[in-house]
Chain A
């Protein structure tokens, strides 16, 4: 399949003559590292969730029976879903413009989209703390314009958490959607137009349906990311907006209940891994290295 492998085989007899040896040697260090510093710790965490005092499922019993965990899980699910839908709705037009725009405009928009990606999540959440307060930019402007008498309660509620969450996941949503839209065969849209479709008709009946798989893929990816959010709800939310990552943090760092924290961590891991597996099944992660092409 490659020029390298047979040439290497000719140069060095023995072990290296087997075609699978070279890629195995190239991959091995990376895989050993991931197994040792990532998979082994995860396995240990799952083990700790079962083995607090001898072998027991007590931590899981608490997890599934306590109203606290049920409520936090519900909140997490709700916040992650709303954030995902909002991000997709806002990302779609930008991704579409990126797809149809020419080189310079595309570069400029991509630059703007990627700038926030280089800024820390803490910093981006913190910025909303400044803007949304009673004396913050938004309330002050609205009051000075005479539109309001009392400041709106913009901070420490679902609104403040969501507006920051969506801003944080938006760049990756746009880039993922853009990648998917680039794979759409644009000659199909041209064909529709030649046959008399208006621009809007061509978009609605050809481009949009073809872009839907990309939308679902980006949605799954963003949902996984949003599900694990910690900083944003902790900084901008009230106790009502507590998400699962915060509960695990409190369980571990304040209550020092490692078994309980591990059990919650294992459940969170199971949820995100299954969604990632669905993503991998339908939107193969393999595509990132060019799929089946050599």
Chain B
């Protein structure tokens, strides 16, 4: 095989795979702005009518609000518990470390239906079914790996000597961690928290079992809509979810840029 033919083939393969990855996203976003009544791509014309439908429907608004609250609470819990754990796992020699890290990552590789069923069975006697706090507690478990992984990555790349310098100059070690190390690794923590937030807003099965009745989050509402309706409202709701993800991601990137400028 000649080198140029190989390169051309490789580039073609990469472009094809990227189109395959991106196209479904483009279709949904385009249809959400459709002027037509049906799910047709390309849309017959552009309008915002499906967004108006959502904005005027109290059920959609409340679903979005439930998702935002569950996402925020679960991401906050995951961050508060995950950051100290990341410190312990990156900075100390701990017996059984591989088991402990496996335990944290377990939630990522457990099938969602198993998590959902077991959480429901556990929550019924505790009275946590149909509560926002219940769903947030469950989502915090699956959000934690994202926080721990991202925090650990920042911790490893952060310059430890700044913290050591502060301690050498008489700072209390705890103070040095809080005032020197935490600000340096904060972009990593924020990205982890955002991943946890987005994961929570997308999660369907635990949400269906725990909060599937009244006051359901937006993923559950989209899922019941997808199986029933054929108008582009679902596409608009999905695009709002995508927008939410992009917005949180953009704010994270902005925070990161800001932190970089401050440290420079």
Is A135 within 8 A of B40, CB to CB?
yes
Closest to A2 in B: B91
Q: Is B259 an interface residue (CB 8 A)?
A: no
Q: Report chain B residues within 8 Å CB of A38.
A: 106-107, 115, 141
CB contact list, A100-135 vs B, under 8 A: 109, 112-113, 115-116, 118-124, 126-131, 135
Residue among B80, B93, B114, B172 making CB contact with A1, cutoff 8 Å: B93
Closest to A33 in B: B81
In the assembled complex, the Cα of A94 lies from the Cα of B21 at a distance in Å of: 12
Is A97 within 8 A of B39, CB to CB?
no
The binding surface of chain B is classed by DSSP as helix
Closest chain-B Cβ to A168's Cβ sits at a distance in Å of 9
Q: A45-B121, A289-B86 are in contact. Are A31 and B98 (CB under 8 A)?
A: no
Q: Is B75 an interface residue (CB 8 A)?
A: no
In the assembled complex, the Cα of A171 lies from the Cα of B119 at a distance in Å of: 28
CB contact list, B170-185 vs A, under 8 A: 172-174, 177
CB contact list, B184-235 vs A, under 8 A: 198, 201-202, 204-205, 208-209, 219, 222-223, 226-227, 234-235
Q: A37-B138, A124-B25 are in contact. Are A2 and B92 (CB under 8 A)?
A: yes
Q: Is A280 an interface residue (CB 8 A)?
A: yes
Q: Is B256 an interface residue (CB 8 A)?
A: no
Residue among A135, A265, A290 making CB contact with B113, cutoff 8 Å: A265
In the assembled complex, the Cα of A252 lies from the Cα of B137 at a distance in Å of: 22
Q: A7-B173, A249-B113 are in contact. Are A30 and B241 (CB under 8 A)?
A: no
Residue among A127, A228, A262, A288 making CB contact with B105, cutoff 8 Å: A288
B82-124 CB mask vs A (1 if < 8 Å, else 0) is: 1011111111111001101111111101111111011111110
Is A11 within 8 A of B20, CB to CB?
no
Is B226 within 8 A of A3, CB to CB?
no
A121, A123, A124, A276, most chain B CB atoms within 10 A = A123
Q: Is B238 an interface residue (CB 8 A)?
A: yes
Residue among B91, B102, B141, B238 making CB contact with A122, cutoff 8 Å: B238
Is A112 within 8 A of B18, CB to CB?
yes
Of the four ranges (under 10, 10 to 19, 20 to 34, 35 or more), the interface on chain B belongs to 35 or more
Is B173 within 8 A of A230, CB to CB?
no
CB contact list, B8-49 vs A, under 8 A: 10-11, 13-14, 17-18, 20-25, 27-28, 31, 39-42
Is B121 within 8 A of A258, CB to CB?
yes
In the assembled complex, the Cα of A128 lies from the Cα of B141 at a distance in Å of: 31
Q: Is B66 an interface residue (CB 8 A)?
A: no
A42-77 CB mask vs B (1 if < 8 Å, else 0) is: 101100100000000000000000000000000000
Closest to A204 in B: B1
Is B14 within 8 A of A109, CB to CB?
yes
Closest to B91 in A: A2
Q: Is A167 an interface residue (CB 8 A)?
A: yes
Q: Is A225 an interface residue (CB 8 A)?
A: yes
> Which 8 pairs across A and B sit closest by C-beta, in order of nearness?
A228-B111, A127-B24, A41-B122, A45-B118, A26-B88, A23-B92, A41-B118, A123-B238
Given contacts A26-B85, A127-B27, 10 further A-B contacts (CB under 8 A): A2-B91, A4-B173, A27-B85, A30-B82, A45-B117, A94-B13, A123-B222, A129-B39, A224-B109, A289-B156
**B residues neighboring A (CB under 8 Å):** 1, 3, 6, 10-11, 13-14, 17-18, 20-25, 27-28, 31, 39-42, 77, 80-82, 84-94, 97-98, 100-107, 109-115, 117-123, 137-138, 140-141, 144, 148-149, 152, 156, 160, 163-164, 167, 172-174, 177, 198, 201-202, 204-205, 208-209, 219, 222-223, 226-227, 234-235, 238, 241-242, 245-246, 249
